[in-house]
Amino acid sequence: MSETTVAPGSPPEQPLQREAGGLPASHVSLSALPDVAVKAVLRRGADLDEASAAQLREQLGELAGDRRVAVVLELTGVGSVSRAARAAYAAIPFVSAWAVVGEGPVDRLLGHFLLGGEFSSVPARYFTSDGEALDWLKRLDHVL
């Protein structure tokens, strides 16, 4: 089951957890946020690889339909990020911007490693809170 979190002052998120590509549904879970944004929460201890990117891509495709969405990607506590994952996450076509969120120094290191890939086609940045991430996304033109 996915965890649903509520940021102060925001409406409750709507869980959108699905199984995709034969991967466990718990590998990544999606929640709708206000203003055409999606929060993707990666399972603690998960190793980010091409399979996790494929699962997220499928879930976002089902959710987004013919539009693009901003993604708040929570990677708190993930185990590792592969080079192949960097390219695969950056190549997801349904994303208008990436706001990567983590808590500690290891999360920051892995988040910056992930963002060091091919994310140049859309805005992408690391944050330590959902609130900061959403504020940044709201300030970007044509993202939300």
Q: Is pLDDT at 133 greater than 80 in this prediction?
A: yes
In a domain, 20, yes or no: yes
Does residue 5 fall inside a structural domain? no
Q: In CATH, what number is assigned to the domain containing residue 119? A: 3.30.750.24
**Look-up of token digits 């929060």:** 39
Residue 91 pLDDT > 60: yes
Q: Which of 23-27, 51-55, 100-104, 106-110 has the lowest mean pLDDT?
A: 23-27
* Separation of alpha carbons 18 and 13, rounded Å: 15
Q: Is there a domain that residue 67 lies in?
A: yes
Please give the pLDDT value at position 1: 31
pLDDT digits (tens, 9 = 90+) for 100-121: 999 999 999 999 999 987 777 8
Residue 64: inside a domain, yes or no? yes
Question: Domain count of the chain?
Answer: 1
Give me the mean pLDDT over the 85-97 stretch: 90
Residue 1 lies in a domain: no
Q: Which domain holds residue 43?
A: 16-139
**Which residue, among 98, 100, 97, has the nearest Cα to 74 in the 3D structure?**
100
Chain-centre distance of CA 108, in angstroms? 14
What pTM did the predictor assign? 0.76
